[in-house]
Amino acid sequence: MTTPAHDTTVFGRLRADGAEQVLFSHDARSGLRSVIVVHDTTLGPALGGVRMHAYEDEDAALDDALGLARAMTLKASAAGLDLGGGWSVIIGDPARDKTEEVLRAHGRFIATLGGRFIPVNDIGTTQADIGVLGREASPVCDSGDPSPMTALGVLEGIRACLRADGADGSLKGVRVCVQGVGNVGSALAELLAAESAELVLADTNPARAAEVADRLGALVVAPEAAVHTECDVLAPCAMGAVVNDVTLPELRCRIIAGGANNVLAAPGHAAALAARGILYAPDFCVNAGGLVFLEEQILGHAREQAEQRVRQVGARVAEVIAQARRTGTTTTEAAVDLARSRLRTARSPQTASSV
């Protein structure tokens, strides 16, 4: 029996995405509704975030988890790590619905995987929350916030993009719009300010944006204005799908490089950016610093060694840009090819599935 061209069933979506396993959990006592996606464990256990968000419906939650898990597989592979990709989402408003009971129930859910999925904090969760999960599941990444290292990798990726665009890599006077000043975005803003970049900040939390801006001497714009703010670099550091059919014509930047996952709403947007002359640092390449740091933690290495490895994110972004220009492809295609090549080598002589 042939698979429909656009199979929207759960199994059809798994086949299309190449995921190994998807698990759904409902805990009546705590009210937990959550999804775990183990996308690929070819290179090692699947490490991924725990995101808590008030999704519109279960389909939206599953789509987000699938996309984030797939991006994590590519991120780990492209960065040369011995980790796989996965993700989990808890459906609910973290400000209203997050309780110890919910977190511990999710921890018990993760524990059923026997270490195949290693959780770390993401949007809507904190390091302390992962510690609560750790009362029920092991291992978890709850010691040492990876956000500053993600930001450091993004900084080096921006520098690589500036060099590829003909500059010397200095950030002095470079106008950067940081969209989202949560853990990663605020850390990136601090690094950019230290290098005398001209900062524009946007966040859905006006008080948070104002606090960071006052501290760093930055300009604040409304969240919806970030995508059409005139700048050298747009650095998305919040939710994904920043580049979509609506925002694409409004972009007034020459480089996009940030800490957010799944920045492109659709694969075709990579070519659309290139056609507009906008240099895009693929998100799973440029925001890999936090994942590198977490692997270093798992291996028990010192922070100094982790920082050295994180700074190599810039070299990897430069490699991807150079490969795209040599082959006439988009930077996204070049980065995916890099990741898939390593996965194929690891799977050989097994039959490789799609990623």
Task: Specify the pTM.
Answer: 0.85
Mean pLDDT of the 77-81 span: 93
Cα–Cα dist 85/93, whole Å: 25
Domain extent listing, the chain: 10-70+84-133, 147-288+314-339
Q: Which CATH class is domain 10-70+84-133?
A: alpha beta
Closest CA to 146 of 79, 56, 224: 79
Which residues partner with 279 through β-bridges? 255
Order of all β-strands in the sheet with 255-256 = 219-220, 198-202, 175-179, 233-236, 255-256, 279-280
Instruction: Look at residue 1 in the predicted model and tell me its pLDDT.
Output: 35
Cα–Cα dist 22/106, whole Å: 14
Cα–Cα dist 41/83, whole Å: 7
Cα dihedral: 242, 248, 249, 254 (round 10) = 90
Overall fold of domain 147-288+314-339:
Rossmann fold (3.40.50)
Mean pLDDT of the 57-86 span: 94
Instruction: Look at residue 4 in the predicted model and tell me its pLDDT.
Output: 45
Domains 10-70+84-133 and 147-288+314-339 share a fold: yes
Cα–Cα dist 318/63, whole Å: 30
Identity of residue 91: I
Closest CA to 154 of 190, 208, 125: 190
Name the token pair of 308. 């050295």
- The pLDDT tens digits for 175-211 are 999 999 998 999 999 999 999 999 999 999 999 999 9
Q: Cα 9 from chain centroid?
A: 26
